[in-house]
Amino acid sequence: MRKTPSHRAGRALLAVALLLPFTGCAGEGPRSVKGKHTLRVGVKYDQPGIGMRRPDGTFEGFDVEVARYVATKLGAKDVEFVGLTSGQREDYLLHRKVDLVIATYSITAKRKTIVTYAGPYYVAHQDIMVRADDTSVSGLRDLKDKRLCQSQGSNSVLRVTEEHGIPATLVPAASYGECFTKLTAGQVDAVTTDDLILAGFALQQPKAVRLVNTKFTDEKWGIGLHRSDVRGCEEVNRAVTGMYQDGTAERLLKRWFGPTGVEVTTTVPQFEGCS
């Protein structure tokens, strides 16, 4: 049958009608963490003192406590924790599997093109951990030709091998928990990452390992949000400021890391700015 102008007009109107729900969604703007009833927060699950999953399935650690504080300030009534590895952080934010990532998530220029960062909520310093009886490592240069554990998704070893040009044999691991196990088992010679992460593991077996105490970077731990949530980022920054001003940050740092002897910073970090 020949299509008349009225038929063609009808089909055009139908097509527009089918598209309206989708264009309407686009006009609603990005979903923000501000004011959500339940916040899903990605945290580490195998880092003592930072983010650790208990046998009953609940989580504990410094990052976990920071997450609870920030969520309350954002107006959330409930927090659901999701355990993740370093390599999963961007994917979980991009695909909205979590609303926030608070998981020793160092701010880098590359990552800022993928996610939005609030904070930093803490500035750590990269250090080195070796077995307690290993006297061959007293500084960064001593890592030459050593077996260095490389946790998936982490940039820490690249600061040694690329930024400082120190040749080392990289031994892959799924997480820093696995790196710690490899170190104590003699499968690697050293683990290098942020001092608070290393300090947490050192508490598990204080006689088996030691920190070299050669702090050679500033690691700005940010709170990751979906790339579109600039408004939420600004609200998170307000919460982090309050956390330091009311003494909560100092209390949490001393609670989780005081026994390690690691020197902690208790003043508000300089924020990177939301963009």
What is the domain-level CATH number for residue 156?
A: 3.40.190.10
Helices in the chain by DSSP H: which ranges? 5-27, 62-73, 89-94, 109-112, 156-158, 176-184, 195-204, 230-245, 248-257
- The pLDDT value given to residue 35: 87
Whether residue 62 is found in the same domain as residue 184 = no
The one-letter code for the residue type at 97 is K
Considering all CA atoms of the chain, what is the largest pairwise distance in Å, rounded to the nearest integer? Answer: 90
For the chain, residues with pLDDT lower than 70 are 1-30
Whether residue 130 is found in the same domain as residue 204 = yes
- How many independent structural domains does the chain possess? 2
Whether residue 114 is found in the same domain as residue 185 = no
H or E element in which residue 219 lies: strand 219-225
- The pLDDT value given to residue 262: 86
Whether residue 130 is found in the same domain as residue 206 = yes
Whether residue 106 is found in the same domain as residue 237 = yes
Q: Is 175 a domain residue?
A: yes
Domain range spanning residue 142? Answer: 126-211
Q: Is 231 a domain residue?
A: yes
Query: 220, 214, 232: which is closest to 129 by C-alpha?
Result: 214
pTM here?
0.81
- The pLDDT value given to residue 4: 52
CA 132 to each of CA 43, 144, 173: distance values in angstroms, whole numbers, following the listed order: 29, 19, 21
- The pLDDT value given to residue 29: 39
Do 71 and 195 touch, CB atoms closer than 8 A? no
For 174-231, how does the pLDDT look when each residue is reduced to its tens digit (9 = 90+)?
Answer: 989 999 999 999 999 999 999 999 999 998 898 999 999 998 999 999 999 999 999 9
- The pLDDT value given to residue 127: 96
Q: Is 102 a domain residue?
A: yes
Q: Which of 192, 211, 230 delimits the end of a domain? A: 211
Whether residue 45 is found in the same domain as residue 166 = no
Whether residue 202 is found in the same domain as residue 228 = no
Q: Is 91 a domain residue?
A: yes
Q: Is 25 a domain residue?
A: no
